[in-house]
């Protein structure tokens, strides 16, 4: 990837997903990221052993970093840590609540000692409030934030199938760090800047994403139902079985599309003006009847035939893919990363920088760079 952040030093005392996600994106952009790990390593290294004996989570999130062993309670390691921070631009941490403060390296004290430093603290619920000391992991936050209440089927709440709370927090942290770096440059550089403290929590990251159901509930008195593979407030928008047992998803976003769908896909142009279906609120209120009409038409032919008609009518659609389908999806882009267990092919990060080749750094073994980095910062 681009070397836009080359020359920046990021120190990250991190584990699991959220902080490693943020520092990974900085490493992808050319920053030097020194990952401090306990002797046993980031516990995400042991989530599974699916990638040639390595953890899928760890391989995904830790490319391009240097791994250094670190004991927060060791005076010698704390002295080494301060030598690192003396040259660092960014410090990221997502340890248990209060861990850095108890060790004397809380964010305020670090910024006071190292002017121009950007600190980023990632927590479960934030640095203040009655939940500040609670441990938090992704599924717990999916439930606590209300996400699980709008996910799943009418009969049962469900978990989003990836670590969405961790990823959201990592994305917000990355965004805020880049914003701080820009502000620092505009102020005249590190020496002319007072530094910045950034706080990101898993809970508040997902609370932001929950604003639409919150606003619907708080102001509109509408509590979204768990619709399974259907949109709670737009219809028709969801999955429909075809005659061969395969499912196709379709999305109607405006009345022009609705009219085309009725005429060209369902073969029933009169439905577009039927008072039960003429507007989106009416279609949502009469969803069972509408779904019955769609299923009856789609049940007459296989998925490929239904897709041909949707495409001809310029109606947005998607297939209900499984992981085999994902592996062979024609839109995939892949990148290779080096690990001690061999080359690993990853689905590529989404940004494309035109004219630049995607090159990602290797995934470190635990403590792989310990001696070299300690020697450099002796």
**Digit-coded pLDDT (tens) for 271-289:** 999 999 999 999 999 999 9
Measured in degrees and rounded to the nearest 5, phi and psi for residue 324 equal -65, -40
Give the number of other Cβ atoms within 10 Å of residue 157's Cβ.
Answer: 14
CA angle (207, 92, 63) in 5-degree steps: 100
Q: What percent of the chain has pLDDT over 70?
A: 99
Site of tokens 């441990």: 135
Please give the span between the terminal C-alpha atoms of the chain, in angstroms, as a whole number. Answer: 31
Q: What is the pLDDT of residues 154-175, one digit of tens each?
A: 889 989 999 999 999 999 999 9
Give per-residue pLDDT as tens, 239-258: 999 999 999 999 999 999 99
The answer to whether the beta carbons of residues 298 and 250 sit under 8 Å apart is: no
The answer to which of 40-49, 81-90, 112-121, 355-364 has the lowest mean pLDDT is: 355-364
Instruction: Dump pLDDT digits (tens) for 298-324.
Output: 999 999 999 999 999 999 999 988 899
Q: What is the pTM of this model?
A: 0.90
- Determine phi and psi for 356, rounding to 5 degrees: -120, 140
Please tell me the predicted confidence (pLDDT) of residue 243.
95
Query: Average of pLDDT values for 214-222?
Result: 91
Radius of gyration of the chain (CA): 25
Q: What is the pLDDT of residue 1?
A: 53
Segment 328-352, tens digit of pLDDT:
999 999 999 999 999 999 999 988 8
pLDDT at 208 (0 to 100): 97
Between β-strands 9-13 and 32-37, what pairing exists: parallel, antiparallel or unpaired? parallel
**Cα 3 from Cα 121, distance rounded (Å):** 25
pLDDT band of 112, cuts 50, 70, 90: very high
d(CA 2, CA 12): 21
* pLDDT of res. 233: 87
Closest of 55, 54, 8 to residue 27, by C-alpha:
8
CA distance linking residue 76 with residue 82, whole number of Å: 10
Going from the C-alpha of 200 to that of each of 13, 93, 170, the distances in angstroms are 15, 11, 8
pLDDT at 53 over 60: yes
Measure the CA–CA gap between 279 and 257, rounded to whole angstroms.
12
Instruction: For the chain, give the mean pLDDT.
Output: 94
Q: CB of 374 within 8 A of CB of 26?
A: no
């Amino acid at each position: 990837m681009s070397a836009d952040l080359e020359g920046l030093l990021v120190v990250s005392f991190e584990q699991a997903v959220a902080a490693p996600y943020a520092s990974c994106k900085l490493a992808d952009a050319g920053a030097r990221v020194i990952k401090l790990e306990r002797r046993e390593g980031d516990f995400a290294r042991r989530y599974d052993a699916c990638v040639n004996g390595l953890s899928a989570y760890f391989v995904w999130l830790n490319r391009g970093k240097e791994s250094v062993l670190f004991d927060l309670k060791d005076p010698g390691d704390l002295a080494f840590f301060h030598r690192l921070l003396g040259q660092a631009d960014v410090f990221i941490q997502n340890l248990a609540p209060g861990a850095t403060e108890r060790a004397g390296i809380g964010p305020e004290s670090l910024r006071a000692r190292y002017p121009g430093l950007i600190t980023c603290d990632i927590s479960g619920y934030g640095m203040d409030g009655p939940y500040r000391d609670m441990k938090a992991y992704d599924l717990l936050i999916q439930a606590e934030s209300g996400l699980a209440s709008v996910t799943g089927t009418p009969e049962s709440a469900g978990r989003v199938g990836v670590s969405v709370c961790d990823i959201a927090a990592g994305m917000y942290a990355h965004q805020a760090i880049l914003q701080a770096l820009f502000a620092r440059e505009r102020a005249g550089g590190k020496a002319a800047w007072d530094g910045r403290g950034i706080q990101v929590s898993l809970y508040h990251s997902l609370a932001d994403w929950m604003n639409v159901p919150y606003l619907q509930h708080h102001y509109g008195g509408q509590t979204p139902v768990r619709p399974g593979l259907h949109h709670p407030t737009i219809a028709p928008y969801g999955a429909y079985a075809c005659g061969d047992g395969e499912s196709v998803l379709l999305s109607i976003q405006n009345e022009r599309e609705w009219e085309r769908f009725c005429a060209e896909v369902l073969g029933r142009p009169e439905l577009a003006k039927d008072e039960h279906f003429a507007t989106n609120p009416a279609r949502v209120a009469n969803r069972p009847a509408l779904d019955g009409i769609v299923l009856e038409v789609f049940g007459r032919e296989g998925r490929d035939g239904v897709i041909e008609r949707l495409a001809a009518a310029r109606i947005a659609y998607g297939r209900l893919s499984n992981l085999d389908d994902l592996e062979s999806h024609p839109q995939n882009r892949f990148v290779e990363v080096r690990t001690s267990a061999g080359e690993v092919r990853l689905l590529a990060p989404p940004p494309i920088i035109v004219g630049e080749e995607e090159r990602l750094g290797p995934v470190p073994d635990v403590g792989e760079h310990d001696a070299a980095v300690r020697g450099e910062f002796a």
